[in-house]
Structures are given as C-alpha cells and as structure tokens.
Structure 1
Amino acid sequence: MYAGKPHKLIPNTLDREFEVEHPNQWWVSDITYIKTCEGFLFVAVVMDFYARNIIG
C-alpha cells in the first residue's frame, strides 16, 4: 500500500517525444525488484534514448 505523497512534482519534459537527435540528450531509467528465497533483489537500469543502449 502506498502511504505517502511525492515530495516534488517534476514536469514531463520528454512528453512522449521518443526521437532523439544526439547521444546523451535523454537518459531514462527504471527500477524493479525480484523476490528470491533469500529476500528481494533490486535492479535498476539507465538507458540512453539515442542509441537505445543500456549504460548503467
């Protein structure tokens, strides 16, 4: 259950414009978790939108 409010509201500057002209112009990220028998593993990914490569 989510029990809080966001600290800050950030405007959506990407605004679904997924065509990028230069590298390192837009980086996007995501985080998820995987339940294991020893607990949870957290996975975070950073992608450069220009080449669609995972950079971190």
Structure 2
Amino acid sequence: MNYGVYGARKVHAQLHREGHQIARCTIERLMRITELAGVSKRKGPKTTVPGPVRDRPADLVQRAFTASGPDQRWVADITYIRTFSGWVYAAFVTDVSPAAS
C-alpha cells in the first residue's frame, strides 16, 4: 500500500521489487498523464528574507550583547517549531545582564 503518497521513484522501486521491468521515466510520464503526484515534504517557513538595507532599524548596541547590570540591555529571538498540526512560533525576550554570583 502506498496511501497515495508515492512519487515516481518509490513506485518504480516497488514495481521492481514485484518483478515488473519498467523504466522510471515511463512511470514519470504515466503519472504526469494521469495527474498523479507524490506527496512532498513540506518546507518550513522562510525565515531569512532580509529587507532592503534602508528599511532596517539602526543597530543601537553595535552588536555588543553585554551589560554591567540588570535592565540595561534586552535581546529577543523567535524560533519556529514544527508540530503535527502545523507550525508554532515561540518568541523569547531576555535580559543580557550577567548572572548573579
């Protein structure tokens, strides 16, 4: 059973295992004619598409992510987590002050 997800490569391999001699290009052509297509892995969200330089905010900390005390500098990040029901977005905001000794 392929549950309707096999592409031409997997169909070709399965038919070959069953003893049928058929070229993969023939399978590709027949699948194209009958409008059959395998299921592709979904790609994740496109996360690194920078805007034009003129539209970016200024780097106010000059990439210096340190601070001598609390509440002086905060940083943020976002990550994408794939789940069975779709994508979940998690955002984090952190104070960069040094840890207490």
- How does the TM-score come out when normalised to structure 1? 0.67
Which structure features the higher share of helix residues?
A: 2
Q: Which has the larger radius of gyration?
A: 2
Structure 1 unpaired stretches of 5+: none
How many percent identity over aligned positions?
34
* Misfit runs of 4+, over 3 Å: none
Would you say the 8 A contact 2:66–2:73 is kept in 1?
Answer: no
> Unmatched 5+ residue regions in structure 2?
1-45
Count of residue pairs brought into register by the alignment: 51
State the Cα deviation string for residues 1-35 of structure 1 (Å, max 9, x = none).
64x846x4211111122331121111000001111
Please report the RMSD computed on the Cα atoms of aligned residues, expressed in angstroms.
2.5
1:20 aligns with 2:67: yes
